């Protein structure tokens, strides 16, 4: 028989081995899935994981990888800090949307003026917008004890309605023949968040993502605030004795993750997306939760997980196109990744013993 024995402390080895194992298991299960759909499984895995990195036209796809991974990493960096403290911001998608609306609104308000100050002002507005949206669940939690999980999640739907209102109302392109959607910021030089090096896919959002990962790394490993966050998550009572003010911690974590999500939205709307439309929110805020956990709430892990997640999206589109795999198969494939990760996480906290009797 198989028995599970709780480990005294989480295994360091399995902490890092489980994501790798989860990726491998996903590949194997994915191969079975693809084979069942009548596609050559090795060909499918090659198209998803190999071609975007090293196949034909990889030069284009590597840049796209960065464009897709940037917002995921930027949002996940902030979420990981809160998750460490046991503060669950599930509403990054809403903060991402509000950040984008605020950032775009500042740029569009001064259209068509040209100034080097416009883009920095948009950055500030985007961060503030996301921060403010994150502070709503923080305030409600601190004031009334409302669950930040539910409030932040519900605010995503509010943000989506706000987005539709902005796209159809105040931010609608006056030169758009009555069609919804804002002016395209890509055609407005002062507000455009273009590629920093042509063809590289790197825009200010990517730079901000790397900065956020470095920043949160320093915060968590070198700063007293990081220690407090860690303690609050591991042992809330001990944290209180150590003088951690829970209310301040809630405000800090939700504010930080909100601001970073808002920044991600702002860089996206000013860059790759270009427009505020009702369909602007494409789920980055939710996918970033997977990225944060896949990366073990650790900045380096998030960097790798963000790139991996982006790879499955881009490779997944390729597989649809080249191999005629249905989109649902790709989504199942992505879902399996989180499923296996959570499953294998058992090994971090438990030892598995085969056979034998319960010890004397």
Partner 1 sequence: MNRRRFLTTTTMTATAMSLGLGKAAWAADPLKVAFMYVGPVGDMGWSFQHDQARLAVDAAFGEKVATSYVENVPEGPDAERVLTQMALAGNKLIFATSFGFMDAVMNVAAKFPDVRFEHATGYKRADNVATYDARFYEGRAVQGTIAGSMTKTNKIGYIGSFPIPEVVQGINAAFIHARKVNPNVEMKVVWAYSWFDPAKEADAATALIAEGVDVLMQHTDSTAPQAKAKDAGIISFGQASDMASFGPTPRVSSTIDNWAPYYVERVKAMLDGTWTSQGTWGGIGTGMVEIGVITDAVPADVKAEAEALIASIGAGTYHPFTGPLNKQDGSAWLAEGEVADDGVLSGMNFFVEGITAQMPQ
Query: Rule CB under 8 A: which residues touch partner 1?
Result: 40, 43, 55-57, 60, 64, 67-68, 161, 164, 168-169, 177-181, 184, 186, 268, 272-275, 277-280, 282-283, 313-314, 317-318, 320-324, 326-328
Chain centre to alpha carbon of residue 49 = 20
Residue of 56, 51, 59, 65 lying closest to 199 (CA atoms): 59
Question: Judged by CB, which is closer to partner 1: 82, or 285?
Answer: 285
Give least dist CB 230 to partner 1, A: 36
Give least dist CB 275 to partner 1, A: 6
Question: Judged by CB, which is closer to partner 1: 110, or 322?
Answer: 322
Residue of 188, 210, 192 lying closest to 300 (CA atoms): 210
Give least dist CB 258 to partner 1, A: 22
Question: Judged by CB, which is closer to partner 1: 84, or 172?
Answer: 172
Rounded Cα gap, residues 221 and 96, in angstroms = 27
Question: Judged by CB, which is closer to partner 1: 19, or 107?
Answer: 107
**Contact criterion met (CB below 8 Å) for 254 and 148:** yes
Q: Which residues of 130-166 are buried (b: 16+ CB within 10 A; e: fewer)?
A: bbbbbbbbbbbbbeeeeebeebbbebbeebbebbeeb
Give least dist CB 270 to partner 1, A: 12
Phi first, then psi, for residue 13 (nearest 5°) are -65, -50
Q: How many CB atoms lie within 10 A of CB 116?
A: 7
Question: Judged by CB, which is closer to partner 1: 243, or 283?
Answer: 283
Q: Can you count the helices (H) and strands (E) in the chain?
A: 15, 2
Give least dist CB 314 to partner 1, A: 7
The number of residues making up the chain comes to 360
Residue of 118, 120, 99, 117 lying closest to 107 (CA atoms): 118
Q: Which residues contact 290 (CB under 8 A, 6 or more apart)?
A: 305, 309, 337, 338
Give least dist CB 308 to partner 1, A: 17
Q: How many CB atoms lie within 10 A of CB 319?
A: 26
Question: Judged by CB, which is closer to partner 1: 8, or 169?
Answer: 169
Question: Judged by CB, which is closer to partner 1: 17, or 282?
Answer: 282
Give least dist CB 73 to partner 1, A: 16
Q: Which residues contact 188 (CB under 8 A, 6 or more apart)?
A: 107, 111, 112
Give least dist CB 279 to partner 1, A: 4
Question: Judged by CB, which is closer to partner 1: 13, or 165?
Answer: 165
Give least dist CB 278 to partner 1, A: 6
Rounded Cα gap, residues 323 and 317, in angstroms = 10
Per DSSP, the residues of 106-125 read HHHHTTT---TTHHHHHHHH
Question: Judged by CB, which is closer to partner 1: 57, or 221?
Answer: 57
């Amino acid at each position: 028989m198989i028995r599970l024995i709780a480990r005294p402390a989480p295994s360091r080895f399995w902490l890092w081995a489980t994501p790798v194992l989860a990726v491998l298991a996903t590949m194997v299960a994915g191969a079975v899935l693809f084979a069942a759909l009548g596609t050559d499984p090795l060909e499918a895995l090659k198209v998803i994981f190999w071609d975007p990195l090293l196949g034909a036209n990889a030069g284009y796809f590597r840049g796209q990888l960065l464009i897709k991974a940037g917002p995921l990493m930027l949002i996940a960096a902030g979420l990981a800090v809160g998750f460490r403290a046991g503060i669950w911001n599930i509403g990054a998608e809403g903060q991402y949307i509000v950040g984008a609306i605020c950032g775009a609104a500042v740029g569009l308000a001064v259209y068509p003026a040209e100034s080097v100050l416009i883009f920095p002002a948009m950055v500030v507005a985007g961060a503030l917008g996301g921060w403010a949206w994150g502070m709503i669940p923080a305030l409600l939690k601190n004031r009334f004890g409302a669950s930040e999980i539910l409030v932040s999640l519900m605010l995503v739907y509010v943000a989506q309605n706000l987005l539709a209102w902005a796209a159809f109302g105040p931010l609608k392109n006056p030169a758009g023949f009555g069609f919804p959607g804002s002016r395209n910021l890509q055609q407005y030089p002062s507000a455009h968040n273009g590629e920093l090096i042509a063809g590289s896919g790197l825009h200010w959002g990517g730079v901000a993502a790397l900065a956020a990962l470095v920043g949160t790394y320093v915060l968590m490993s070198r700063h007293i605030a990081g220690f407090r966050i860690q303690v609050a998550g591991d042992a809330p009572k001990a944290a209180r004795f150590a003088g951690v003010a829970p209310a301040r911690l809630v405000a800090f974590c939700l504010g930080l993750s909100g601001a970073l999500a808002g920044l991600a939205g702002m860089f996206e709307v000013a860059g790759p997306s270009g427009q505020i439309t009702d369909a602007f929110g494409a789920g980055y805020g939710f996918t970033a939760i997977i990225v944060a956990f896949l990366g073990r709430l650790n900045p380096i892990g998030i960097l790798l997980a963000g790139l991996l997640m982006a790879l499955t999206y881009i490779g997944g589109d390729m597989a649809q196109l080249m191999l005629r795999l249905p989109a649902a198969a790709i989504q199942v494939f992505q879902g399996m990744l989180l499923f296996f990760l959570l499953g294998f996480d058992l090994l971090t906290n438990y030892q598995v013993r085969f056979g034998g009797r319960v010890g004397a």
